[in-house]
Amino acid sequence: NRTVYLKDYQPTDFIIESIDLVFDLGETLTTVGSEIRMHRRPGADPAAPLVFAGDGLALSGLALDGKPLLPERYDCDASTLTIRDLPEDGSFTLTIKTRINPSANSELLGLYRTSGIYSTQCEAEGFRRITYFYDRPDVLAVYTVTIIADKQSCPLLLSNGNLVEEQDLGDGRHMAKWHDPFKKPSYLFALVAGDLTMIEDSFTTMSGRHVALRIYVEHGKAARAGYAMDSLKRAMKWDEERFGREYDLDIFMIVAVSDFNMGAMENKGLNIFNDRLILADPETATDDDYARIEAVVAHEYFHNWTGNRITCRDWFQLSLKEGLTVYREHEFSADQRSRPVVRVDEVKFLRAHQFPEDGGPLAHPVRPTQYLEIDNFYTTTVYEKGSEVSRMIATLLGPDGFRKGLDLFFERHDGGAVTIEDYLKCFEDATGHDLTHFALWYHQAGTPVISVASFYDERKQQLKLTLSQTTPPTPDEKIKKPLHIPLRVGLIGPNGADMAPTAITGGESRKDVLELTKDEQTFVFEGIGARPAVSVNRDFSAPVKIRFDQSREDRLRIAGAERDLVARWDTVNALALEVLVKAAEDVKAGRPVTTDPALSDLLVATAEDTALEPAFRALALTLPGELDIGREIGADIDPDAIHLARNTVIEAIAEAGADSFAQLTGDMANGGAFSPDAQSAGRRALRNAALVLAAAAEKSPRRASQAYESADNMTDMLAAMRVLAHQFAGSAEAENALADFRRRFAGEPLVLDKWFSTLATVPGENTLERVTKLMGDEAFDEGNPNRVRALIGAFASSNPTGFNRPDGAGYAFFADFILTSDKRNATLTARLMTAMRSFEALEPSRRALAREQIERIAAHDDLSRNLRDIVDRMLK
Ligand code: DPP
Ligand code: ZN
């Protein structure tokens, strides 16, 4: 058992001053020389040995101050290098030589070579696969990196910081030397070598410094890097204006690679990206792709201050950089696009991914206290819930208070490796607020449920709001405490306008934000002249579930008139979800499905409401998916019943608004040249949401088929193909479009990922056979994480009827894949496996079949630590 505990944190016995690395790159043999200047930490045990981490390394040399170390001075195995009898004081230099094989590195962690490119991924613990080191975030050092490689295959040699020397070595090889003046932890080290092209631009910082910007991509792809560059410049400007953060090096580089476990990585001055988050043009990228590129380019750039200049003391503090950086990214997106639409997308994401994590076997606090494998903690809880926690701080302190706290954080901790406590203390010190109780958000897992009851007293002109909170138990913690929850509340009067209370009593409040701190509290709003409709959790001010038995009349008032569009969408969505859940219950019980004309009217009216922006209307018109319905039902889930019920409800709505939907597919057509901006994207979103319904009303693939034929951009093309493939599966029109798409994009792996996903998510039990066949498609590559996620990941996580076939064949197929994949890439495999984390919520027969397959995986005694951790927690 290698469980790591937060309580065991100890600083290192030695302090690293600098590290000089020399890479002699070879496809199957790369040698790494590491020269480390260091000294014993003052006050550390003078007899303590030096213990460095390694992972699968071969040691080929070890010297102290230039003299080879005798074997009795050290022990070395695959995971540690221990050196004894080191000097008690004064600096010394340790030289370590290791040999690695980048071509055999299918884990894509450490230094690896794929598609002719050498690149690295060191977060969280990949540096130890390159050389023995203190591979932990609290060890900050200055890096100088020399790269030697073949000139022809690797004209480009990159590492962090500034280029300080280049030399032709005369033997067909050349070298480049990079120096990064900023101290950094090993997880931010990066190296890239290969033959790539680039686009170049520049940015002048607020203090007038000139920064060169470069984005490196595969040859032939330069034209697709423009949007990423534009996003980068906007992000740099925004961070100066919004948070006073200026870039610090003379150059900022991004490299796009095609084999990458994550989305992107914020290595100092040399971000490495999954190419799907850089490359975009109208013919190959959807509006969602553009929005993701903008967000992730910004996210990684923002890490330069929140993550790199100030980093984490240990990996338990991961949310210190990730939660905060996601929050900064969200704010950036909100400022670049439509704030409420961006916020609704965040809420949808949180509910679809984080809530189930928090409510299932893998639940953990935003700051965990133990882990078996840190790679399994790059989760939606650490990222998205962590972001919500920072957002709540901003809500409690107000924008100025938040900015003051963050300013202090940058000032106080620049160059440091710190904790969540250090972060919170800055807000307390800057504003005088006490965040002791609030801090529980970091330590307590589970999604709080707030029950709301309202009572209006006409005589006293008072509205009483009783709020009570509970957090359901999670695997590691049964008893939960009440949290400090900021809840934004609106009172909507009979005329649709907000009512302003003369006073609010019963607890702390700041403008329209109630501060719920106890199990139960009653807030009293004074001076309320008529019974209002109460809108709770406006702007989704807290990541909680609301239980409010509100009158239908009130809910329709909110759905039709709420000026907070997030709450308005939420109410529309909740009304739809209620109808869908009821319909699923009907199907399961063998009753005819009851639909709801009032819901149809509401959706049609919202779709037609030209006072609302198209993107919002599209959101309202997109019904909750089968997975959303399943999550709402929560237990004893029958995916087939949900599928049937949802289709029946869709048909009823489609028929009620047939003319409007058909009309919208035309009205929202692109006028003129394609533009990826948010407003144009919103029009496409509305058109394509309407297409789903128009096609359902017409019960014919004709309209979608025409839309496919006439599409002049990937968003419209993919949307039409999905309607054909999902709503008219097996039709000639569907098969024609799918075949055309496959042919047309034969040389575009990233576009074919969309094709793989579309096919993998066709509802019904026949999809398994198609997925099995697609694994033999020449475009499919089991070693490429994007392909695996597009086909296998989409099938397991986004095809409830196909994956959960009643005979369990979907689970068996998946388990086979997981067992093979684990040998190749454990990080990726463990993440894929989480697709089954909610299996306990299935109806008994499927639940048993799913468990059988998870147990079959768990019975193997040679699983990676990553996969072992996930399956054991799922079965616990
Ligand atoms: N690359 C990942 C992110 O930026 C891990 N740091 O979130
Ligand atoms: Zn990040």
Query: Sign (positive/negative) of CA torsion 833, 834, 840, 846?
Result: negative
pTM: 0.99
SS3 for 658-720, per residue? HHHHHHHHHHCCCCCCCCCCHHHHHHHHHHHHHHHHHHHHHCCCHHHHHHHHHCCCHHHHHHH
Give the pLDDT confidence of 254-263 residue by residue, as tens digits: 999 999 999 9
Q: Which of 121, 184, 262 to mutate to test the pocket of ligand 1 (most atoms within 8 A of CB)?
A: 262
Which homologous superfamily is 747-876 in? Peptidase M1, alanyl aminopeptidase, C-terminal domain (1.25.50.10)
Nearest atom within ligand 1 for CA of residue 378? 5
CATH code matching the domain that covers 450-547, chosen among 1.20.1260.10, 3.30.70.1230, 2.40.170.20, 2.60.40.1840: 2.60.40.1840
Q: Tell me the CA–centroid distance for residue 266 and ligand 1, in Å.
A: 6
Q: What is the pLDDT of residue 456?
A: 98
Whether 670 shows a pLDDT value over 90: the answer reads no
Q: What is the pLDDT of residue 671?
A: 74
Q: What is the mean pLDDT of residues 465-483?
A: 98
Ligand 1 and 790: CB distance under 6 A: no
**pLDDT class of 669 with cuts at 50, 70, 90:** confident
Question: Look-up: residue for tokens 């006050």?
Answer: 43
Q: Tell me the CA–centroid distance for residue 277 and ligand 2, in Å.
A: 14
Ligand nearest to the CA of residue 320, numbered in listed order: 2
Amino acid code (one letter) for 647? N
Cα(159)–Cα(147) distance, rounded to whole angstroms?
8
List of residues 6+ apart from 499 with CB closer than 8 A:
491, 492, 493, 528, 529, 530, 532
- Where are the chain's structural domains? 4-286, 311-443, 450-547, 747-876
Q: CA-based angle 838:842:846, to the nearest 5?
A: 115
Cα 239–chain centre separation = 20
Ligand nearest to the CA of residue 267, numbered in listed order: 1
Neighbour-count burial of 449, counting CB atoms closer than 10 A to its CB (0-12 exposed, 13-18 middle, 19+ buried) = middle
Catalytic (active site) residue 769: no
**Topology given in CATH for the domain delimited by 4-286:** Immunoglobulin-like (2.60.40)
Q: Tell me the CA–centroid distance for residue 188 and ligand 2, in Å.
A: 12
Cα(487)–Cα(451) distance, rounded to whole angstroms?
12
Nearest atom within ligand 1 for CA of residue 326? 7
Amino acid code (one letter) for 140? L
List of residues 6+ apart from 262 with CB closer than 8 A:
121, 274, 378
Q: Whose CA is nearest to atom 7 of ligand 1?
A: 322
**pLDDT class of 672 with cuts at 50, 70, 90:** confident
Nearest atom within ligand 1 for CA of residue 307? 6
Q: Tell me the CA–centroid distance for residue 321 and ligand 2, in Å.
A: 7
Q: What is the pLDDT of residue 668?
A: 83
Whether 136 shows a pLDDT value over 90: the answer reads yes
> ipTM for the complex?
0.98
Q: Tell me the CA–centroid distance for residue 300 and ligand 2, in Å.
A: 6
**pLDDT class of 76 with cuts at 50, 70, 90:** very high
Nearest atom within ligand 1 for CA of residue 321? 6
Neighbours of ion ligand 2 (CB under 5 A): 322, 325
**pLDDT class of 85 with cuts at 50, 70, 90:** very high
**pLDDT class of 45 with cuts at 50, 70, 90:** very high
Backbone angles phi, psi at 196, to 5 degrees: -135, 160
Ligand 1 and 265: CB distance under 6 A: yes
**pLDDT class of 32 with cuts at 50, 70, 90:** very high
Q: Can 4-286 and 450-547 be said to share one CATH topology?
A: yes
Smallest CA-to-CA distance from 159 within 176, 173, 171 is with 176
Q: Tell me the CA–centroid distance for residue 299 and ligand 2, in Å.
A: 6
Nearest atom within ligand 1 for CA of residue 303? 4
**pLDDT class of 548 with cuts at 50, 70, 90:** very high
Ligand 1 and 264: CB distance under 6 A: yes
Whether 100 shows a pLDDT value over 80: the answer reads yes
Please identify, in words, the CATH class of the domain defined by 311-443.
mainly alpha
**pLDDT class of 667 with cuts at 50, 70, 90:** confident
Q: Whose CA is nearest to atom 6 of ligand 1?
A: 265
Give the pLDDT confidence of 47-70 residue by residue, as tens digits: 999 999 999 999 999 999 999 999
Q: Whose CA is nearest to atom 1 of ligand 1?
A: 265
Cα(397)–Cα(403) distance, rounded to whole angstroms?
9
Ligand 1 and 384: CB distance under 6 A: no
Which residue of the set 294, 300, 613, 626 is catalytic? 300
**pLDDT class of 451 with cuts at 50, 70, 90:** very high
Amino acid code (one letter) for 157? L
Ligand 1 and 262: CB distance under 6 A: yes
Nearest atom within ligand 1 for CA of residue 296? 4
Give the pLDDT confidence of 688-735 residue by residue, as tens digits: 999 999 999 999 999 999 999 999 999 999 999 999 999 999 999 999
Q: Whose CA is nearest to atom 2 of ligand 1?
A: 265
Ligand 1 and 300: CB distance under 6 A: yes
Q: Give me the chain's average pLDDT, please.
A: 98
Ligand nearest to the CA of residue 323, numbered in listed order: 2
Give the pLDDT confidence of 149-190 residue by residue, as tens digits: 999 999 999 999 999 999 999 999 999 999 999 999 999 999
Ligand 1 and 329: CB distance under 6 A: no
Q: Tell me the CA–centroid distance for residue 378 and ligand 1, in Å.
A: 8
Ligand 1 and 322: CB distance under 6 A: yes
Q: Tell me the CA–centroid distance for residue 317 and ligand 2, in Å.
A: 13
